[in-house]
Amino acid sequence: MKKLENKRQEKVSYSRILGKGKRILIRPYHFSDYKMCWDSHLARRPLAGPFDEPIPACKHSKVSEFKDRILRYRKHGKEKRHYVFAIFNRNQKRYLGQVDLWIINETLRWANVGYHIQNQFFGKGYATEAVQVAIRLAIKSLGLHRIEAAMEIENTSSRQVAIKAGMIREGIRRHFLPEHSHSDFEVFAINAIDYAKGNTR
Ligand SMILES: CC(C)(COP(=O)(O)OP(=O)(O)OC[C@H]1O[C@@H](n2cnc3c(N)ncnc32)[C@H](O)[C@@H]1OP(=O)(O)O)[C@@H](O)C(=O)NCCC(=O)NCCS
């Protein structure tokens, strides 16, 4: 069984990954996404709160910097360390944000899902849809077992996204990240067993 799942993981090429939701699509960035990303960055509204920040991939005013970043993402995806996906609407005419799967432990097939929407599109359910698609890809295509999301306790919208995407609250990690003023983080997770049984939140 384990061998089978590992094989499945080996077969999936990062550059070919594509996941679809009802309104959104996620896939790795292409160089040609530069203009759409930069335009969406320029269209951002003033920061909506303490957790709102520009999406790093879209902050580059120079196309060469954007390309370097995409090459880094490709390298990490190929190495199966970190899978970064841009979120678009279904016809790929509008860039909405980013969702990523960062492998915490390869042997345990355990990843963290991160999500980030351009603030002009907040509150439309895009993050929830993208996280649902990323979880499906993680379990069905990448053969991962456990996907978690961890956020500062005050990050209510992120918490809502984890819950609405079907993740189950597991508890608090105290004084979690040194660079986040040692804040406590709340942890939500879903695993392949929950997913198969439809046994989510
Ligand atoms: C977190 C984030 C991705 C959510 O994106 P989004 O597309 O607006 O999310 P959704 O529309 O799918 O859902 C947002 C939910 O949060 C709720 N919400 C938003 N602000 C809230 C607040 N201040 N208090 C309570 N709920 C709030 C919305 O009502 C919605 O829930 P509902 O559908 O049950 O009403 C977005 O706010 C973001 O990019 N933030 C900055 C980066 C970040 O914090 N990422 C998570 C890191 S762990």
pLDDT digits (tens, 9 = 90+) for 71-94: 999 999 999 999 999 999 999 999
Q: Which residues line ligand 1 (CB under 6 A)?
A: 51-52, 114-117, 122-128, 151, 155-158, 160-161, 164
The radius of gyration computed from the CA coordinates of the chain, to the nearest angstrom, equals 16
Residue among 111, 110, 144 at smallest CA distance from 5: 144
Which pLDDT does position 32 carry in this prediction?
97
* Best residue for ligand 1 mutational test, from 47, 87, 155, 160 (most atoms within 8 Å of Cβ): 160
pLDDT band at 199 (very low <50, low <70, confident <90, very high): low
CA nearest ligand 1 atom 42, residue: 116
Nearest to 172 by CA among 196, 191, 154, 193: 154
pLDDT at 6 over 80: no
Domains by residue range for the chain, with CATH: 2-197 (3.40.630.30)
Determine the distance separating the centroid of ligand 1 and the alpha carbon of 114, expressed in angstroms: 13
Q: What is the mean pLDDT of residues 138-152?
A: 97
Ligand 1 geometric centre to CA of 21 (Å): 18
Residue 76 CA to ligand 1 center (angstroms) comes to 27
- Give residue-wise pLDDT tens across range 179-193: 767 889 999 999 999
Among the atoms of ligand 1, which is closest to the Cα of residue 151?
A: 48
SS (HEC) of 67-124? HHHHHHHHHHHHCCCEEEEEEEECCCCCEEEEEEEEEEECCCCEEEEEEEECHHHCCC
pLDDT reading at 2 higher than 60: no
| 197 or 26: which leads in pLDDT | 26
| pLDDT score, position 201 | 61
Does the pLDDT at position 102 exceed 80? yes
**pLDDT bracket for residue 156 (50, 70, 90):** very high
Q: Which value, to the nearest 10 degrees, does the dihedral of the CA atoms of residues 160, 47, 186, 200 take?
A: 20
Q: Which residues of 163-192 are buried (b: 16+ CB within 10 A; e: fewer)?
A: bebbbbeeeeeeebeeeeeebebbbbbbbb
Average pLDDT, the chain: 94
Mean pLDDT value across residues 66-72: 98
Q: Is 47 buried (19+), middle (13-18) or exposed (0-12) by CB count in 10 A?
A: exposed
Instruction: Name the CA dihedral angle for 96, 90, 150, 192, rounded to a multiple of 10 degrees.
Output: -170
Is the full-model pTM beyond 0.85? yes
Ligand 1 atom nearest to CA at 96: 7
